[in-house]
């Protein structure tokens, strides 16, 4: 039962870290754990690595997560065991040195031992927590602890201890930890839940006890309590990393989807890019299926008859007319002047991330003069191409009229009734000539003209905005200023061209 | 059957057994096969080309002494090629032959309704298993002592084909509308799927499989592989050539040399009676490990320095 809890907690941590784990896979993991057991950590890791993460990226995340989670969470591996043993033997050494009563004699010579003793006693003076009697107790008989936690600590059973801690963590809802200032609080609560109060009382009693074995136990318990405290802090730290940090990332992603793209700070570009790819992938998956359905067309009667002649005219072998869908075209015309540059950046990123399902995209950039940048995108990586486009064509004052005239001159002939034209811009023409009649011409020839305006609807048609004129010659006019809008627009676009 | 269980009883025994069949595998690979056997789950194997994904399935079949049934995937693969097809020719032939017999059957039948009723009594003879041509997947289910089913390069098949596989992968059964559900007879087949990752495999499929990623092996394992495959290579040359390949893999190449290339190269060097690598020898035999002229040109300039580094 508790074993299952460990795994399900681990899976929760994995999910937090963006590894998708289904219920079926959780069951598989439990099956694997049953086979493999917790004893050999590397073996457990290898086993779970085949069951839970299903891509190479996920495997990396899994590795990191596993190391973090099982490092202390379930100190079943050798690592922590040996740690503890190391601690203990050190402790023993220290006591031998301090007591210096020949008990630990053996290999080490007299002189170094004397030196050791000296330095130790010096150190002792500075240490407020060390107490006199510590030195007097050699190893030997000790009494049994009474409190539950004491027994647990003395039993040296790492598995039990860590499970108790996990249970206490569960009881105190440590998974709800959200901000780092809560760490101390949760450590304290967990220790309390494990029975710290009883233990403290017992240690107090034992220390003042008259019997040496009891005092010895008190000493041991105290050392172990400190160890436990440290472990608890580690545990909480890990819970914090596993639970809070990622929710933070998710929150940030959620925010970034809705935020106005012009407000995105430069340091978040990477994250946005990730989101864009993720969204694009989702859309691709959705629409690549739709495309395939058209593969099989109507029955090709003559061909079928001809091929079935050898079967005495019985029709067995059917032949289909395959429908060849003409690849529609998408022209993206982007205003890359200062005010709209950021939107253009993300829209282009989006369009080009969709190359799997998106028909051929030709893109144009303008601030006053219009230029085709398709080649640039074909030759370079998306990010580089965008950067170059913005550098070369951005920055001027916008002139929509001129841009439309340029477009007409250069490629109106390529526009036909399968062409979808997306224009991204705020339609602020600096009071220049709008040349809406050019847009009308494009409108008449193309399948669709979609105008995406990053400004809020309220601001349209105010000041030098020519939205009303242009809007009249667009099939669709949309406000588009966040990733969410972009996703919706591109999704619709794919639906229409499929 | 007992043999299989003995071999698959632990990771260590699996690893040993693989080694006895000249397949050197890492702990990760052995663990995956172990789990696949114990949990009765298919394994999806991914990794760069030439790291022995297909070989793993083949060796497993050999090791367990089970027949290997292989389904090579390609675009346009569908159920009639993968699962089953009706034997149209046989059906047709039988209808022709039975035309005469039909009169006897219908003799004395009064009216159309009765004739049809009599015909119905014959049931769906023409759509029974007699007329079913099993394709690899169905064949694998019908194998009495179990088998190893290798679905190779699943990424080359269409998305829809993956959905076809779901039933067989999770329940080891196939539903044929005319007949019903055909289940694995005794032992479900051990299924290996390989993918070169040319496209993302759907989540539904991944969910039903264990996932094994085989990267290029580290130098130690690769040396053991070469030793197992081509024992004639002297140890020093073996170390040198493996390390040379490892150096190449760090370069920016169009196609990185895989294990199969390492083995080919080792074979070539043995034929040339080489004892150690030297720049001229390497330059002369580069075309064994590199498959693009561009790569060869790029590497030729580096040959001297790399050889010097590893032979010192």
A496–chain B nearest CA distance, Å: 22
- Axis crossing angle, helix A483-497 with helix A269-293, rounded to the nearest 10: 20
Nearest CA in chain B to A317: B88
- For chain B, the distance separating the N- and C-terminal CA atoms, rounded to the nearest angstrom, is 51
A53 touches chain B (CB under 8 A): yes
Nearest CA in chain A to B211: A50
Query: How many other C-beta atoms lie within 10 A of the C-beta of residue B155?
Result: 16
Are the Cβ atoms of B208 and A24 closer than 8 angstroms? yes
Strands A476-479 and A448-453: parallel
CA A205 to chain CA centroid, nearest Å? 50
Note whether B167 and B173 are within 8 A (CB): yes
Residue A195, Ramachandran bin (φ over 0: left; ψ between -120 and 50: alpha; else beta): left
A180 touches chain B (CB under 8 A): no
**CA-wise closest residue to A444 among A469, A409, A419:** A419
Nearest CA in chain A to B203: A54
Average pLDDT rounded to a whole number, residues A184-190:
84
Per-domain boundaries in chain B: 2-80+136-213, 84-130, 219-298
Structure tokens at A481: 């200023």
Residue in B44, B158, B213 closest to A292 by CB: B158
What ipTM was reported for this prediction? 0.81
Query: How many other C-beta atoms lie within 10 A of the C-beta of residue B105?
Result: 14
Per-residue pLDDT of chain B (312 residues; tens, 9 = 90+): 457 788 888 888 998 999 888 888 888 999 999 999 988 899 999 988 888 889 999 999 999 899 999 999 988 788 788 888 888 888 878 878 877 777 777 777 778 888 888 777 776 777 788 888 888 888 888 888 889 999 999 988 887 788 888 888 888 888 888 788 888 777 888 999 999 877 778 888 888 999 999 988 888 889 998 998 888 888 888 998 899 999 888 888 888 888 888 999 999 999 998 888 888 888 888 888 888 888 888 888 888 888 888 877
H/E run at residue B122 = none
Residue A357: what pLDDT?
Answer: 63
Give the SS3 label for residue B66.
coil
C-alpha distances out from residue B108 to B95, B115, B118, B201, Å: 21, 9, 11, 60
Lowest-pLDDT choice from A39-43, A75-79, B200-204: A75-79
Average pLDDT rounded to a whole number, residues A446-472:
85
Give dist(CA A47, CA A36) in Å, integer: 8
Per-domain boundaries in chain A: 2-72, 329-497
Residue A73 confidence class, pLDDT cut points 50, 70, 90:
very low
Give dist(CA B181, CA B174) in Å, integer: 6
A23 touches chain B (CB under 8 A): no
Segment A101-139, tens digit of pLDDT: 333 333 333 344 444 444 444 434 444 444 444 445 555
Q: Determine whether domain B2-80+136-213 maps to CATH 3.40.50.150.
A: no
Segment A243-281, tens digit of pLDDT: 655 555 666 666 666 766 666 666 667 777 777 777 777
Q: Is the sign of the CA dihedral A297, A299, A300, A303 positive or negative? A: positive
Residue A55 confidence class, pLDDT cut points 50, 70, 90:
confident
CA dihedral B143, B146, B147, B151 (to 10 degrees): 80
A32 touches chain B (CB under 8 A): yes
Lowest-pLDDT choice from A48-57, A163-172, A293-302, B141-150: A293-302
Return the CA Rg of chain A.
36
Note whether A180 and A238 are within 8 A (CB): no
Are the Cβ atoms of B207 and A22 closer than 8 angstroms? yes
Segment A233-248, tens digit of pLDDT: 877 877 776 665 555 5
Class of domain A329-497: alpha beta
Top residue of B25, B35, B99, B133 to mutate, by most chain A CBs within 10 Å, is B35
B155–chain A nearest CA distance, Å: 14
More confident residue, A251 or A325: A251
């Amino acid at each position: 039962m508790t074993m299952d809890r460990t795994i399900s907690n681990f899976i929760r941590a994995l999910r937090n870290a963006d590894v998708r784990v289904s219920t079926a896979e959780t069951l598989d993991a439990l099956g694997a754990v049953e086979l493999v057991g917790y004893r050999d950590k590397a073996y457990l890791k290898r086993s779970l690595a085949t069951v839970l993460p299903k891509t190479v990226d996920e495997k990396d995340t899994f590795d990191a997560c596993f190391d973090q989670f099982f490092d202390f969470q379930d100190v079943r591996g050798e690592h922590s065991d040996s740690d503890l043993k190391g601690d203990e033997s050190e402790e023993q050494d220290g006591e031998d040195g301090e007591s210096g009563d020949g008990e630990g004699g053996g290999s080490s010579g007299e002189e170094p031992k004397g030196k050791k003793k000296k330095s130790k006693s010096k150190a002792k003076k500075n240490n407020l927590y060390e107490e006199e009697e510590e030195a007097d107790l050699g190893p030997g008989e000790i009494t049994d602890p009474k409190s539950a936690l004491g027994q647990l600590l003395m039993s040296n059973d790492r598995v039990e201890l860590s499970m108790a801690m996990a249970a206490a963590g569960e009881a105190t809802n440590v998974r709800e930890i959200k901000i780092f200032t809560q760490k101390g609080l949760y450590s304290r609560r967990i220790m309390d839940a494990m029975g710290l109060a009883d233990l403290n009382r017992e240690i107090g009693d034992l220390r003042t006890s008259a019997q040496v074995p009891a005092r010895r136990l008190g000493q041991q318990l105290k050392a172990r309590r400190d160890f436990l405290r440290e472990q608890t802090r580690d545990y909480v730290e890990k819970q914090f990393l596993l639970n809070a940090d990622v929710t933070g990332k998710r929150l940030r992603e959620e925010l970034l989807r809705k935020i106005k793209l012009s407000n995105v700070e430069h340091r978040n570009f990477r994250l946005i890019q990730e989101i864009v790819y993720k969204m694009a992938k989702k859309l691709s998956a959705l629409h690549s299926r739709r495309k395939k359905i058209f593969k099989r067309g109507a029955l090709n009667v003559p061909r079928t008859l001809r091929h079935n002649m050898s079967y005495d005219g019985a029709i067995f072998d059917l032949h289909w007319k395959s429908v060849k869908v003409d690849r529609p075209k998408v022209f993206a015309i982007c205003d890359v002047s200062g005010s709209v540059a950021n939107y253009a950046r993300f829209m282009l990123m989006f369009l080009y991330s969709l190359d799997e399902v998106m028909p051929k995209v030709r893109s144009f950039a303008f601030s006053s003069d219009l230029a085709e940048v398709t080649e640039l995108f074909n030759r370079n990586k998306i990010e580089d191409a965008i950067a170059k486009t913005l550098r070369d064509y951005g920055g001027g004052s916008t002139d929509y009229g001129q841009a439309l005239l340029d477009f007409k001159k250069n490629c109106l002939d390529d526009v036909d009734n399968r062409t979808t034209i997306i224009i991204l811009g705020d339609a602020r023409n600096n009071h220049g000539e709008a040349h809406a009649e050019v847009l009308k011409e494009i409108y008449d020839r193309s399948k669709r003209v979609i105008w995406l305006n990053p400004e809020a609807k309220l601001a349209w048609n105010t000041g030098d905005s020519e939205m009303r004129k242009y809007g009249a010659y667009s099939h669709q006019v949309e406000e588009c200023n966040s990733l969410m809008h972009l996703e919706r627009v591109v999704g619709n676009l794919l639906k229409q061209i499929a | 059957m007992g043999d299989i269980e003995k071999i698959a009883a632990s990771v260590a025994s699996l690893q040993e057994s693989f080694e006895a069949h000249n397949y050197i595998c890492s702990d990760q690979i052995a663990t995956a096969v172990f789990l696949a056997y114990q949990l009765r789950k298919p394994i999806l194997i991914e990794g760069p080309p030439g790291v022995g994904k297909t070989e793993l399935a083949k060796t497993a079949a050999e090791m367990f002494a089970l027949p290997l049934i292989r389904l090579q995937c390609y675009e346009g693969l569908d159920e009639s090629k993968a699962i089953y097809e009706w034997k149209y020719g046989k059906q047709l032939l039988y209808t022709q032959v039975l035309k005469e017999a039909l009169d006897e059957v219908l003799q004395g039948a009064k009216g159309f309704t009765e004739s049809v009723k009599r015909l119905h009594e014959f049931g769906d003879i023409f759509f029974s298993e007699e007329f079913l041509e099993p394709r690899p997947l169905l064949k694998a289910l019908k194998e009495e002592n179990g088998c190893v089913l290798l679905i190779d390069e699943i990424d080359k098949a269409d998305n829809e084909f993956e959905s076809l596989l779901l039933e067989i992968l999770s329940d080891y059964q196939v539903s044929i509308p005319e007949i019903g559900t055909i289940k694995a007879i005794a032992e479900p087949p051990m299924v290996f799927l390989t993918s070169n990752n040319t496209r993302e495999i759907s989540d539904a499929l991944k969910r039903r499989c264990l996932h094994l990623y085989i990267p290029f092996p580290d130098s130690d394992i690769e040396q053991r592989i070469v030793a197992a495959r081509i024992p004639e290579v002297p140890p020093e040359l073996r170390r040198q050539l493996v390390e040379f390949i490892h150096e190449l893999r760090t370069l920016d190449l169009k196609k990185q040399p895989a294990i199969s290339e390492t083995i080919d190269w080792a074979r070539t060097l043995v034929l040339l009676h080489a004892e150690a690598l030297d720049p001229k020898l390497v330059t002369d035999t580069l075309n064994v490990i590199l498959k693009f002229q561009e790569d060869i040109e790029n590497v030729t300039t580096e040959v001297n320095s790399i050889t010097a580094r590893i032979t010192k």
